[in-house]
Chain A
Amino acid sequence: MGSRYIEIFCREAEEHLASLQSGLLVLERNPSRMSLLHELLRNAHTMKGSARMVGLADISAITHTMEEQLKGMERGERAVDAQAIDLLLKGADAVALITAALAKGEAPNLDVERFIAEYEKGEAVRPVQADSRETQAEHMSETVRANVKTLDALVNLVGEMIINKKRLEAKLVPLKEIAGASPPGLQQQLLEFRRELEEDVLYLDYLIQELHGKAMGLRMLPVRSISDGFDRLVRDLAQQLGKEVRLETAGQGIEMDRVLLEGLKPMLIHLLTNAVCHGIEGPDERVAAGKTRQGVVSVNARHEGSLVVVEVRDDGRGMDAQRIRDAALARGVIDQREAELLTDEEALYLTLRPGFSTADIVTDVSGRGVGMDVVKKNIERVKGNLALATEVGLWSQVTLQLPLTLSVIEALIVDCGGETFALPINYVEEILKVRPRDISTLGANEVIKVRGATTPFYTLSSVLGLPQREAAENAPVAAVVLKLCDQRIACTVDAHLGNSEVVVKGLGRQFKNVRFVFGATIMGDGNPALILNVPDLFEAFSSGSRAAARSDGEQLKKKVYRVLVVDDSITTRTMEQSILVTHGFAVVTAVSGEDALEKSEAGSFDLIISDVEMPGMNGFELTRALRAAERYRETPIIIVSSLSRDEDKRQALQAGAQAYIVKGAFDQGMLLETVETLLG
């Protein structure tokens, strides 16, 4: 039995013994208090159970006798008198003596065997040495129990101190200016005073850093505290699947904030389940491939700068980019065009999208197509990052990057649109200067080359809906390259003001659903600065920065376009209608081709969206009929269909449609984008 468990037992026993010793004395004075008696019974019982778990037979025997005595009292068979209480106290003292000795790794100063033999007979045994209490008291003083709320309050207060120290620090600059403008005699004095103050601030800074480290340490727990059950999990899963898997762990002693560990645990459970179910092959398959019968899954934690990196690796079949592409296509996560554009590395990250799964059979453990996207969401919530790597047939590895704590983070401070923002440093890849000639356009977006890679290029202030600063022509602009999983974007900022450790403060309930920010910090001047939520930025960029930056006023000025939606399925009709209406379009629906023709004559439409297969006139026929009418010769027509053959697409274009969307790949963004493009 490991000494760690003994240590845990000793700490637990201390609590029970303390409550027994004080409780027994109270019981002696109030023999009829059944609730107290019951509580003491529970103490003895729990201690007995725990002692058995860690193999401490002596303690288990003594507490068993104590439990029996207490039970007798509860049933009324044994008197609650001084003698009986004395016997119980002796038992508690003996247990205290044994645990105190255990904690020190010494033999107890007591003939345990004789004590037990006599104690079981209910005889008052020879008195336990008086010094046992002393040793126990000494031991207890080494640890105290603290309320988690008190710890959090302590950390917050230290945070306030950091902020105040920064304010003090900031005052050194104007002091120098004041000295500069003073008459020579005074100037010398002031400068001397300032130098001393500077030294004091430096020392204060050192002290606060120490204090902060200690305060944070109180909230930290080792990774081990969540990974204890993993061995069992992997073993049971492997057995269930007829596989042979060994779990290897390293760096389990690395400490992290309690809150983060709570978030990490479900992610690790999921990744391990994935590794055992999808990664590791069956034993025969492994042998055939020249591997050992037993697969290895490893969980590896280590420090990397101010981050904790946790790797989950398996030596299984690896991740096949082509297979992932096919599965994503089959499940409608991406369309053909997208699939062809993806590099192998990018394809791996498809597994993180909602609705993805490669498993051919859905089991109760995995293959439900949910999971990896949940891992991604969780990691974003704790402001971490995730990377995937693999070699087909050999191994795959998921790397989680997490901050040590959420209450203080390292951030890059930037100026943007007249405000100051903090960007968590773990999303920042690099800082660059971009000249206008470096920027080119690709489709509707601007891009720049970052170390040879084409990277989308945005203006941060426009995404955030803040006023943009007029840059001098041809002057280089500051840009920050941000990274989230496999994606990279570059965005311009007005200026970057360097790295800083910032204290994270929540925005309160009024901002529960705020987008783009996840908290604020207080700067040296006492004003808050918002901390940007980088995953939200990526989401805004991918759904088109124009939409995010569109202000209410502009939306009102925009002409309201009228769209006719034709589909015989009420689901499709309603879905398309609601997407369009929420984005400011006026929508009329028609249930068939004939109905659509009638409605198109009655009103005028700027765009028509039609299904292909409908009872009566089909979508192609409708398109031709509309094209024949003077009024709709130029009107954009979009065909939305479940037919995905090239032949159907050609037919649609021949009939005169401008766009063809396959229902399988149908998503809100795609429809909107197409509609918006066609309407200019």
Chain B
Amino acid sequence: MSLFDQLQDRLMRYLLSMGLSASDGEEVIQEAFLALFLHLQRGKPRHNLRGWVFQVSHNLALKQRNATLRNRQTLVEYDRMAAENFFVDEAPNPEDRMAGDERRVRLRNVWRALPEQDRRCLGLRAEGLTYREIAQVLDMSLGAVSLSLGRSLARFARADGR
């Protein structure tokens, strides 16, 4: 349970950023930890359990996503769901502007414009995963992870005209 306590919020943030609802995210996390229990019970490797749980959660979330897509929602609509989870107050209202929140909106727009895989890399890195773990979860090479993160951060840096 201590691993669950450590990872629950991190996993949920990642799943929300993938476009899952909080209730679907909870179910995915439960299933992932039940799978972990069986994994350990069968005497399977105990190294890098964090990466393992993220990988299983990611795959279950994709399955959930397929379930959504099969009901004739398009990828574009799914991306919109992911964006809505992330951008709670997408449209800048006058108060935001008065509070000098335009920069935040600009950064949100950068995130929205990123390719899905780049958003996932960034989301996993933000939750503390190493490049090796990210590569494992997303089935990418280490080089591809590093390029993706570099590309995304460069876009964030440019958002301020830096």
Chain B associates with chain A: no
B→A interface (CB under 8 Å): none
